[in-house]
Amino acid sequence: MRDPLAIAVAQPPCVSHDVAANAVTHAAAIRAADARVVVFPELSLTGYELDTPAIAADDPRLSPMVEACAEAGAVALAGAPARGAAGRPHLSLLAVDGTGATVAYHKMWLGGAEPERFAPGGEPAVLEVDGWRLGLAVCKDTGVARHAADTAALGIDAYVAAVAEHAEDAAVLGERARRIATEHSVWVAVASFAGPTGGGYTRTAGCSGIWGPDGIVVAQAGPETGALTRAVLA
């Protein structure tokens, strides 16, 4: 039998365009989380700045996170633009552990000005950690029923999302999480951007949370920058 999985959702402060500074802040959150998996918001390493250059998985600026994951025995999921095969970048999630970083998922459903800059991902993705299958999502993906259904069809235990929402749309986080949890009988973990960032997000929602398969929230942060909350999936 697999062990329970401790998962945390974090909403660290972010300096737009400054990957090095944000990696240090992410590393501090990883060390503080006391969790096997730590999830960060959409474009957490750059801010919601659509013109930021793509980040390679072996970028040396990520080394503080790699070191923190090695110390904590953690896997971190961080939002960043990543290089695409066709020359256009993707809006992606990087999976970081004590050995380095890999590109784990490309956002499939783009919104707003994103299609002008990014190419959509082609398929759902699952990250396996200690026998737990984590389906991955980024922001608008969570509002597309087909995305949750196609991801759930891969045989997932939890649906893990990185998002950036306007403060006035904070209630959307819970609505989508409850729907996904109850329709597919999975845990849902959502890391939501807090504090100002680019793309017109002068006030973001925060309120990252973790919902059980019954749709009931089991842990939730407030709207403040720097908040961190965790739960144990069993």
CA distance 91 to 83: 9
Q: Is 231 strand, coil or helix?
A: strand
Q: Is the pLDDT assigned to residue 86 strictly greater than 80?
A: no
HSE-CB at 15 with a 13 A cutoff on CA atoms is: 9
pLDDT tens sequence across 152-171: 999 999 999 999 999 999 99
For residues 184-203, average pLDDT:
95
pLDDT tens sequence across 2-51: 899 999 999 999 999 999 999 999 999 999 999 999 999 999 999 999 99
Backbone angles phi, psi at 132, to 5 degrees: -95, 130
Query: pLDDT value at position 204?
Result: 96
For residues 57-70, average pLDDT:
98
pLDDT tens sequence across 217-229: 999 999 999 999 9
Query: pLDDT value at position 84?
Result: 83
Q: Is 76 strand, coil or helix?
A: strand
The domain 5-233 is placed in CATH, from the list 3.30.470.20, 3.40.50.1980, 3.60.110.10, 3.40.50.150, at: 3.60.110.10
Structure tokens at 96: 């970081």
Query: pLDDT value at position 129?
Result: 98
Higher per-residue confidence, 186 vs 1:
186
Query: pLDDT value at position 162?
Result: 98
Report the predicted TM-score, pTM, of the whole model to 2 decimal places: 0.97
Domain boundaries, the chain: 5-233
Query: pLDDT value at position 87?
Result: 79
CA distance 79 to 47: 9
Query: pLDDT value at position 200?
Result: 86
Query: pLDDT value at position 227?
Result: 98
Query: DSSP label at 47?
Result: -
